Amino acid sequence: MLIALVSLAGRKWGPSVAGWLLGLPLNSGPILLFLFLEQGPRFTAEAARGSLLGILAWAAFCLTYAFCCMKMPWWWSTLTGWIAYCVAAVALLPLKLSVTWAFAFVTVVLAGTLLGFPKAPQPDTVTGDAPPRDLWLRMLTASVMVVTLTGVAKALGPTRSGILSAFPAYTTILAVFSHRHGPAPAVKTLKGVTAGLFTAATFFLALSTSLMRLSGTRSFGLAAAAALLVQAVSLLFIRRDGLMPRQSNAGGAV
């Protein structure tokens, strides 16, 4: 249902908005909730720190795919992006930063990543509406990926589980389906995702720091509130950067 709602939003407001919405922890948030119910607050707090570091691997996928899709088909772009994710994830495993320093590190790297994005080629390819089965295929693919990730995460320990929860499952799906219409929608989608990752970083920071002091309900509620606040602020970025379609006086997209 989450990937369906994001996909429908992308059809109405453009691929950048769909990507921006993926900054919400739609994948890792539920996984962390399940880990909390099964493993307890200490395990989940460490997993949230791992998820925070995993954002860097997520961003590595976005930037790599954005460059690759300019000259490569979707399967090579996906494979190269996943390799970039894996390399970054392995490099992050030895890091022993506290959650506060990890947050500072992640925000600086994300800002640099946004500056390094390629410009989407112009003009964008104009395409018709996607067929009805397209949405069901996205939902099915997303469900299989998330169930698989949830199943293997528990056996890996908190840090590895956290980093794995940041695997760009939804991002891959939207990038590939956007790439079918040309590199420009794919680049815009991935830049929107990267802009939205500040939201995920805030969620993980708030959750990790509050779980050892507050109840699970309050911790997840506080993290969600902080994330939504940052998400609203990041909307200003994608509007200013021209990633979101502006509305004409008549209410139509221009």
**pLDDT tens digit sequence for 151-192:** 777 678 888 888 888 888 888 888 888 888 889 888 988 988
Q: Which residues pair with 253 in a beta bridge?
A: 247
Mean pLDDT score, 138-162: 77
249 band by pLDDT with thresholds 50, 70 and 90: very low
Is residue 68 helix, strand or coil? helix
- Considering the domain boundaries, does residue 19 fall inside one? no
Tell me what pLDDT residue 142 has.
Answer: 72
Would you state the structure tokens that stand for residue 160, as one six-digit string?
């590895």
Nearest residue to 174 (alpha-carbon basis) of 31, 19, 20? 19
Cα–chain-centroid distance for residue 5?
15
| Segment 3-56, tens digit of pLDDT | 788 778 877 777 667 777 877 887 788 888 888 988 889 999 999 999 999 999
Percent of the chain with pLDDT over 90: 39
Mean pLDDT score, 132-160: 76
- Considering the domain boundaries, does residue 127 fall inside one? no
- Considering the domain boundaries, does residue 8 fall inside one? no
Work out the burial of residue 82: count CB atoms within 10 Å of its CB; fewer than 13 is exposed, 13-18 middle, 19 or more buried. Answer: middle
Provide the 8-state DSSP code for 247: B
Tell me what pLDDT residue 245 has.
Answer: 52
- Considering the domain boundaries, does residue 2 fall inside one? no
Domain residues for 107? 28-121+138-240
- Considering the domain boundaries, does residue 246 fall inside one? no
Consecutive H or E run containing 126: none
pLDDT above 60 for 126: no
- Considering the domain boundaries, does residue 130 fall inside one? no
0.75 exceeded by the pTM? yes
Out of 81-95, 104-118, 150-164, pick the least confident: 150-164
- Considering the domain boundaries, does residue 63 fall inside one? yes
- Considering the domain boundaries, does residue 75 fall inside one? yes
Tell me what pLDDT residue 231 has.
Answer: 87
Tell me what pLDDT residue 62 has.
Answer: 96
| Counted domains in the chain | 1
| Segment 65-81, tens digit of pLDDT | 999 999 999 999 999 99
Do 75 and 47 touch, CB atoms closer than 8 A?
A: no
Tell which phi-psi region holds residue 94, choosing left (phi > 0), alpha (psi between -120 and 50) or beta: alpha
Distance CA 221, CA 216 (A): 8
User: Packing angle between helix 2-13 and helix 132-153, nearest 10 degrees?
Assistant: 140
